[in-house]
Structure 1
């Protein structure tokens, strides 16, 4: 199932069904006194891993693991310390062995960064890609991103 992203508007937090909050840390800053670009990859990772490693959701069956194969980030505004962030995540599409996520970081009701992340399901022993099962796809259903065309 593939989905086209809506390009007519800035990201809206309400379109991302999985959310969690975090603090901006002083250690996240660079010499320009804003959050360093590399730190955003950690913010996005926190959102994905917190969702996918929750065994009760059935997104990571025994013997399988998810690996990151692509992360495209868009930096939209400076983020400074101190502060809090709201991270949002939604599934954008499924491949044969992959799940693509759309992700955002918001601060003070403003999107400061967005990303698209592609993860591939692999067999933990062979390290080869494993096909998504109907159960995995069904278990991701609550986390489908809103506001995109699934035609």
Structure 2
């Protein structure tokens, strides 16, 4: 199975007029992270809120009732932050449908402060019954067509088989599923899982920095996060979340993450962030410290 390459350059993504549906989004204090900006997991939750409204309208989904074995599961989600998102602002989240397949379809998202695009994203949803992926019902397909936007250009690359091997990742964090992580499908929600990957990156930064009081330095949170959900994450269970450094250049570090239940890989994530941060007016460079966390072959 291949995974989509995640860099996108279509400038129309950054225009509010690109998106057929827009939702007002008021930032909450709970959305802030320690850097006093809207956290990455909060933005992924905003995407979910928009997606839920679309699916209610497209398929009449009642999220308070069992759907007779019919579900729409998230296969992947990506977020790219383009500018700092401050609390004391109002935002709009735009959503459109960029691809409709036999049993799956893609959303694109834009987050706007006034007319400034401060973040973009995309996700893949799969229509599932008890027997697995199932063709989209005609009524759902028709409603999704009403929300279509131009397809996102991109290339596909083969996944490195090492990404599915837990021993290839040098950094380990054990995570126990919490009951509050579960959604209406009775597995861990996609937003909760995105938070797990962000937690693992923060733990890696703490390890590099020597566990400073108050957490890692501002500026080390990833500007880009992409998550692939390979299997349902269940409760109760203890998972191993593994992290490795994929590459370091002049300004950024690329991370690879794998979520494992025993030896089985149930999720993957990729992230890009800075490897330098400021503290007390001084710039701290961490690139060399990441060398021992390089992915193993």
Partner of 2:145: 141
2:103 to 94, 97, 103: 97
| 1:13 CA displacement | 1.1
Which of 7, 12, 25 is equivalent to 2:10?
7
SS of aligned partner of 2:146: helix
Query: Equivalent residue for 1:35?
Result: 38
**What is residue 23 of structure 1 aligned with on the other side?**
26
1:59, 1:136 within 8 Å by CA — same for their partners in 2?
Answer: no
Q: From the superposition, tell whether residues 45 and 149 of structure 1 become closer, same or farther in structure 2 (CA, over 3 Å).
A: closer
Q: Is the contact made by 1:70 and 1:117 (CA closer than 8 Å) also made in structure 2?
A: yes
Which sections of structure 1, spanning at least 5 residues, go unmatched?
none
Deviation of 1:111 after TM superposition, in Å, equals 0.8
User: Whole-Å Cα distance in 2 between the matches of residues 51 and 9 of structure 1?
Assistant: 21
In 2, Cα distance between equivalents of 1:149 and 1:40: 22
**In 2, Cα distance between equivalents of 1:25 and 1:108:** 18
- How far apart are residue 105 of structure 1 and its match? 0.8
| Matched residue count | 140
Distance 1:89 1:95, change over 3 A: same
The answer on whether the counterparts of 2:31 and 2:42 sit within 8 Å (CA) in structure 1 is yes
Q: CA deviation at 1:51?
A: 1.4
Q: CA RMSD for the aligned pairs?
A: 2.2
Q: State the TM-score, normalizing by the size of structure 1.
A: 0.82
**Larger relative CO (CA 8 A, sep 6+): 1 or 2?**
1
Unaligned ranges ≥5, structure 2: 1-7, 153-297
TM normalised by structure 2 equals: 0.44
Shift of 1:59: 6.0
Partner of 2:51: 48
Whole-angstrom distance in 2 between the partners of 1:120 and 1:33:
35
